[in-house]
Chains A and B, each alone.
Chain A
């Protein structure tokens, strides 16, 4: 009867390795190959020969990604198979671009290098994501303390304005620093805010969506139900004033609007929220010089007074020139002049990639972001639990909106902000936050499938 025991073993074997995990493994091989290609191309273009240096920028992140893959295999077998390879692809492209900028810096005789730090920060962020997966196997535990998450988010948002540890770079007060370690607490705050909104809206969506008097065919909520939206508008405006950054405040307010709209299904909130936000931004641009200057650079980047002003549109214009040089297929990795753009390794890495990979490459990068957001929305759509639905939606939307604000800013379609390009830009706090978001999305997708099977 060995025949029978074999056939009985087949279901167990199939159950042990779902399709998504194996697909993920194949994609990880592929992505590692793309990274090696990018690094080799950069070395060939810059120094005409390949050296073993590239292993230093290739191997540690690849090993970390495989560790994360192993942890997923062990704890969340049914998690989505595309998120990890997609995020890892972006992360590696970022490292390659930063390495390329470092090579240019070395040629210039400078010592401001970022790639090595970025490699280790990426590894750290991926290992943290593995720990998040291990700790939060059931996302419903996050529902237990929404108000604590909300309070922690507010504290983190206000921290950069604190006297001793707060730091201001390029006019935006987004950092805290203790000794040599600097950190951007706003990045972590976006995770906590999504948890808070999801927890709050799940318990209050009844009154928010159903009670209210009808005026002109629209249901106007009670004044007391408008409280939270007003409160949050004030908070976003406070962020705008204190941190001097329009992007951060748009990001959080946008997250809030989308989540309240999803929870209640009422366009009223979006309408009134957008009016309030635009009014606030316009008033702020009149009242505060730093916001006004950003608006001026956006509206007329090529005007001499904006171009030559300190912190004016010089950076934006350099980025635009770079992308124009890139044309459709790009100058080729290592063959452009992205080092001419100030802060090309962080705020303007999108423009640097645009120059070297061209329009086709930029579209590819945007398509990768689109796929990440799409997978997140799909997790939200298929999940049975309302809290998890809202949380997955919040996470994917916040990533998408951030890319929109950053890419729009770099392309001159939106005012420039201090937000970072997720996964690409140099910076540890952003990597940590975005990899944690990926980890939570993976856990959410696993719990969604687990329910279906039971």
Chain B
């Protein structure tokens, strides 16, 4: 063995020990400051969608259908309907104050919301931990709901019906 190789090995061993220890610090960091939720969805999803800000979003006009109720297909509240008439917004989440309560381990307390924009209903995820799926795809930006689309939050799926 050359001197240089031995020297590198010798430095390397101490370095490996320290890399090991420092990598554990990431766990301890979480102890001290809590786990930070960095979400790409959070950045893309802002600004908050409200019933008034429709025009600025440039949501294209398509063949809109005029849903009157939310029909829950699966989950604990399967079979129930929530009327949409005269509503501007429907807040969905685990919090008891939500318009549509989803008692599911995978739902955040303020998980998503449906906003009445012009003739359409637009679905926005509210930076939930586990995301909101529309037709099997996780949504990252506000999306206009079309007829027959199913929305899934945790184990609950529902759709809009006219």
Q: Which A residues form the contact surface with B (CB < 8 A)? A: 1, 4, 7-8, 10-11, 23, 27, 30-31, 34, 37-38, 41, 44-45, 48, 81-82, 86, 89, 329-333, 335, 357-358, 360-361, 364, 367-368, 371, 374, 378
- Interface residue stretch chosen among B11-19, B64-72, B90-98: B11-19
Contacts of B24 in A (CB 8 A): 27, 82, 86, 371
Chain B 1-51 interface residues, beta-carbon cutoff 8 Å to A: 1, 6-7, 9-14, 16-18, 20-21, 24, 27-28, 31
Q: Flag if B10 contacts A30 (CB, 8 Å).
A: no
Which one, A45, A81, A358, contacts B14 given CB within 8 A?
A358
For the A-B complex with A332-B6, A357-B14 known, give 19 more contacts whose Cβ atoms are closer than 8 Å: A7-B152, A11-B106, A27-B20, A30-B20, A41-B13, A45-B1, A48-B1, A82-B24, A329-B10, A329-B14, A332-B9, A333-B10, A335-B6, A357-B17, A358-B14, A361-B13, A367-B21, A371-B24, A374-B28
Q: Flag if A4 contacts B16 (CB, 8 Å).
A: no
Contacts of A81 in B (CB 8 A): 27
Contacts of B157 in A (CB 8 A): 4
Q: A8-B155, A329-B14 are in contact. Are A364 and B6 (CB under 8 A)?
A: no
Show 14 A/B contacts (Cβ-Cβ < 8 Å), sorted by A. Answer: A4-B155, A8-B155, A11-B105, A41-B10, A41-B13, A44-B9, A45-B6, A331-B10, A332-B10, A332-B13, A361-B13, A361-B17, A371-B24, A371-B28
Q: Flag if B14 contacts A364 (CB, 8 Å).
A: yes
Distance in angstroms between the alpha carbons of A378 and B30 in the assembled complex? 13
Q: A34-B20, A335-B6, A361-B17 are in contact. Are A44 and B1 (CB under 8 A)?
A: yes
Kindly name the residue among B21, B28, B152 whose own CB sees the greatest number of chain A CB atoms within 10 A: B21
Chain B 52-97 interface residues, beta-carbon cutoff 8 Å to A: 74
Q: Flag if A82 contacts B9 (CB, 8 Å).
A: no
Contacts of A31 in B (CB 8 A): 20
Contacts of B16 in A (CB 8 A): 34, 37
Q: Is the interface of A mostly helix, strand, loop or mixed?
A: helix
Q: Flag if B10 contacts A335 (CB, 8 Å).
A: yes
CB distance from A454 to the nearest CB of B (A): 14
Kindly name the residue among B14, B27, B106 whose own CB sees the greatest number of chain A CB atoms within 10 A: B14
Q: Which residue of B lies closest to A23 (CB)?
A: B27
Q: Flag if B14 contacts A360 (CB, 8 Å).
A: yes
Contacts of A44 in B (CB 8 A): 1, 6, 9
Distance in angstroms between the alpha carbons of A8 and B76 in the assembled complex? 11
Q: Flag if A364 contacts B10 (CB, 8 Å).
A: no
CB distance from B128 to the nearest CB of A (A): 15
Contacts of A38 in B (CB 8 A): 13
Q: Flag if B74 contacts A1 (CB, 8 Å).
A: yes
Distance in angstroms between the alpha carbons of A217 and B6 in the assembled complex? 63
Contacts of B21 in A (CB 8 A): 364, 367-368, 371
Contacts of B12 in A (CB 8 A): 37
Distance in angstroms between the alpha carbons of A45 and B152 in the assembled complex? 61
Q: Which residue of B lies closest to A34 (CB)?
A: B16
CB distance from B15 to the nearest CB of A (A): 9
Q: Which residue of B lies closest to A6 (CB)?
A: B155
Distance in angstroms between the alpha carbons of A360 and B21 in the assembled complex? 12
Distance in angstroms between the alpha carbons of A31 and B152 in the assembled complex? 42
Contacts of A371 in B (CB 8 A): 21, 24, 28
Distance in angstroms between the alpha carbons of A23 and B12 in the assembled complex? 24
Kindly name the residue among B7, B20, B105, B152 whose own CB sees the greatest number of chain A CB atoms within 10 A: B20
CB distance from B104 to the nearest CB of A (A): 9
Distance in angstroms between the alpha carbons of A361 and B21 in the assembled complex? 11
Q: Flag if A364 contacts B18 (CB, 8 Å).
A: yes
Q: Which residue of B lies closest to A363 (CB)?
A: B18
Q: A44-B6, A335-B6 are in contact. Are A360 and B20 (CB under 8 A)?
A: no
CB distance from B155 to the nearest CB of A (A): 5
Distance in angstroms between the alpha carbons of A224 and B10 in the assembled complex? 59
Distance in angstroms between the alpha carbons of A251 and B153 in the assembled complex? 56
Q: Which residue of B lies closest to A8 (CB)?
A: B155
Distance in angstroms between the alpha carbons of A23 and B155 in the assembled complex? 27
Which one, A7, A357, A368, contacts B13 given CB within 8 A?
A357
Contacts of B18 in A (CB 8 A): 360, 364
